[in-house]
């Protein structure tokens, strides 16, 4: 079978290797679709592990099951989770399955950017989701990234009446916006540096969009560029513009779907007292927070929160959101590529310009 062996974003080699053999408790899956995740192109995160076969947003068809596998059969359409929890440790039992030690050690053999996958016993037990006929293989690749978003917003305690700001309108930011819209958020504000992505943000549910470059170029008292649904706020910094459209208050929830320093600082200035800032996107290697404890925390009761990955519950919720049409993922697909063209897909994802979700069809 063919696999894409990753060395760097600009060095991905298509190789031949044997189709994995399965044991009595395992499953062999033919990959039908595999999405490129933003984390796939973070080179510093991968450099000590290369070469390896990446790809964790996968769907396909079971072609063989081990003799002990009773729950699934050949021909089943599935989405498979690569990292799965043990469900019995202290972390899992306290509701933090995504920081379980097991979840950090489990994976596919070899990876989603290949023609076939071996799903180990624990993945068969805790990481297979049957796809309804109404959910396409391509739509199913969104189950994993949407599960991450579901978990983040659940931990952040998002409520229907909230005003939320999402920094970053890439794929994860758009999933956050779409889920906020499905949850009934009262005001959804998208912030980015790319006008095309802000257009996507409006398409998927943002009420107001801000190009943060215009704030930074103009300074704290300069002009801004804002596309919105019915506000007249002009010539103010981002926090003041938020107050103008939110009855004098800053945001209840700030979601950082980018790790850019400027976005983090703007986000911390844009959350109200008693509000929550969710750190969702990875930052640059070695990035630190230059925070004033007194200015940010003392007397504010602001919560800084992180989330990572998605639990079994979150995956099930994500699948239902897609199946029911409450979150439209199909229209987020901008590119479909063959395995041989995967390097182009990584280039487009790393550039983070007009492309959103890129699907590889092995």
Would you say residue 217 has pLDDT above 60? no
pLDDT in tens, 67-86: 999 999 999 999 999 999 99
**Least confidently predicted of 65-79, 179-193, 291-305:** 291-305
Question: How far is CA 249 from each of CA 165, 205, 241, rounded to the nearest angstrom?
Answer: 12, 21, 10
Q: Are strands 27-35 and 11-16 parallel, antiparallel or unpaired?
A: unpaired
Banded model confidence at residue 221, pLDDT cuts 50, 70, 90: very low
| Domains and their CATH numbers in the chain | 2-142+329-361 (3.90.180.10), 149-306 (3.40.50.720)
Tokens for 23, please give them. Answer: 């044991």
Which residue from 288, 265, 295, 285 is spatially nearest to 277, judged by alpha carbons? 265
Buried b (16+ CB within 10 A) or exposed e, 71-91: ebeeebbbbbbbbbbbbebeb
pTM of the model: 0.93
Would you say residue 230 has pLDDT above 50? no
pLDDT in tens, 138-177: 999 999 999 999 999 999 999 999 999 999 999 999 999 9
Q: What is the mean pLDDT of residues 221-243?
A: 58
Mean model confidence pLDDT for the chain: 92
Determine contact, residues 123/144, Cβ cutoff 8 Å: no
Banded model confidence at residue 198, pLDDT cuts 50, 70, 90: very high
- The pLDDT value recorded for residue 233 is 40
pLDDT in tens, 7-51: 999 999 999 999 999 999 999 999 999 999 999 999 999 889 999
Banded model confidence at residue 213, pLDDT cuts 50, 70, 90: confident
Would you say residue 204 has pLDDT above 50? yes
Q: What are the E-state strand segments in the chain?
A: 2-8, 11-16, 27-35, 57-65, 77-80, 116-119, 128-130, 163-167, 187-192, 208-211, 226-228, 251-256, 271-279, 303-306, 333-338, 357-361
Determine contact, residues 354/330, Cβ cutoff 8 Å: no
Question: What backbone torsions phi and psi does residue 272 show, to the nearest 5 degrees?
Answer: -75, 165
Banded model confidence at residue 287, pLDDT cuts 50, 70, 90: confident
Q: What is the mean pLDDT of residues 39-68?
A: 95
State the Cα–Cα distance between residues 258 and 96, nearest whole angstrom: 23
Tokens for 172, please give them. Answer: 């994860």
Which residue from 308, 307, 312, 310 is spatially nearest to 127, judged by alpha carbons? 312
- The pLDDT value recorded for residue 85 is 96
State the Cα–Cα distance between residues 304 and 264, nearest whole angstrom: 11
Banded model confidence at residue 214, pLDDT cuts 50, 70, 90: confident
Would you say residue 61 has pLDDT above 70? yes
Instruction: Quote the radius of gyration of the chain (alpha carbons, Å).
Output: 21
- The pLDDT value recorded for residue 286 is 87
- The pLDDT value recorded for residue 291 is 79
State the Cα–Cα distance between residues 33 and 94, nearest whole angstrom: 34
State the Cα–Cα distance between residues 179 and 328, nearest whole angstrom: 9
Q: What is the mean pLDDT of residues 228-245?
A: 69
**Least confidently predicted of 46-55, 131-140, 321-330:** 46-55
Tokens for 111, please give them. Answer: 């990876």
Q: How many other C-beta atoms can be found within 10 angstroms of the C-beta atom of residue 343?
A: 18
With H, G, I as helix, E, B as strand and everything else as coil, classify residue 305.
Answer: strand
Would you say residue 301 has pLDDT above 70? yes
Q: What is the mean pLDDT of residues 86-92?
A: 96
Banded model confidence at residue 295, pLDDT cuts 50, 70, 90: confident
**Least confidently predicted of 108-112, 301-305, 323-327, 352-356:** 352-356
- The pLDDT value recorded for residue 348 is 95
Tokens for 351, please give them. Answer: 């550039």
- The pLDDT value recorded for residue 133 is 96
CA angle 65, 70, 75 (to 5 degrees): 50
Determine contact, residues 29/119, Cβ cutoff 8 Å: yes
- The pLDDT value recorded for residue 357 is 97
Determine contact, residues 352/43, Cβ cutoff 8 Å: no
- The pLDDT value recorded for residue 225 is 42
> In this structure, what DSSP letter does residue 84 have?
-
Q: Are strands 251-256 and 77-80 parallel, antiparallel or unpaired?
A: unpaired
- The pLDDT value recorded for residue 290 is 76
> In this structure, what DSSP letter does residue 115 have?
S
- The pLDDT value recorded for residue 211 is 94
């Amino acid at each position: 079978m063919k696999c894409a062996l990753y060395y760097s974003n600009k060095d991905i080699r298509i190789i031949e290797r044997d189709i994995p053999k399965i044991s009595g408790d395992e499953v062999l899956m033919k990959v039908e679709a595999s999405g490129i995740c933003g984390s796939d192109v973070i080179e510093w995160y991968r450099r000590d592990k290369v070469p390896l076969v990446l790809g964790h947003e996968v769907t396909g068809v079971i072609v063989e099951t081990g003799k002990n596998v009773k729950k699934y059969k050949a021909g089943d359409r599935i989405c498979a989770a690569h990292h799965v929890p043990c469900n019995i440790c202290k972390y899992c039992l306290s509701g933090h399955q995504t920081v379980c030690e097991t979840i950090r050690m489990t994976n596919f053999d070899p990876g989603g950017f290949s023609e076939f996958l071996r799903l180990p016993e624990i993945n068969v037990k805790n990481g297979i989701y049957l796809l309804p006929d109404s959910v396409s293989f391509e739509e199913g690749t969104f189950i994993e990234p949407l599960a991450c978003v579901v978990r983040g917003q659940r931990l952040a305690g998002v409520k229907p009446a909230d005003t939320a700001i999402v920094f970053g309108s890439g794929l994860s930011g758009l999933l956050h916006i779409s889920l906020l819209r499905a949850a009934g958020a009262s005001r959804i504000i998208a912030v980015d540096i790319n006008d095309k992505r802000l257009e996507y943000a409006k398409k998927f549910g943002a009420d107001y969009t801000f190009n943060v470059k215009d704030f930074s170029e103009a300074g704290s008292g300069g002009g801004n560029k804002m596309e919105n649904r019915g506000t007249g706020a002009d010539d103010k910094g981002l926090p003041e513009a938020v107050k103008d459209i939110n009855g004098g208050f800053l945001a209840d929830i700030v979601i950082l779907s980018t790790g850019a320093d400027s976005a983090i600082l703007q986000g911390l200035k844009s959350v109200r007292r008693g509000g929550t800032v969710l750190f969702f996107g990875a930052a640059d290697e070695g990035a630190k927070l230059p925070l004033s404890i007194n200015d940010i925390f003392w007397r504010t009761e602001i919560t800084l929160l992180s989330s990572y990955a998605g639990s079994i519950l979150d995956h099930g919720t994500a699948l239902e959101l897609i199946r029911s049409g409450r979150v439209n993922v199909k229209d987020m697909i901008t590119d479909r590529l063959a395995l041989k063209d995967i390097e182009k897909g990584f280039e487009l994802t790393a550039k983070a310009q007009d492309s959103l979700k890129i699907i590889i069809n092995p």
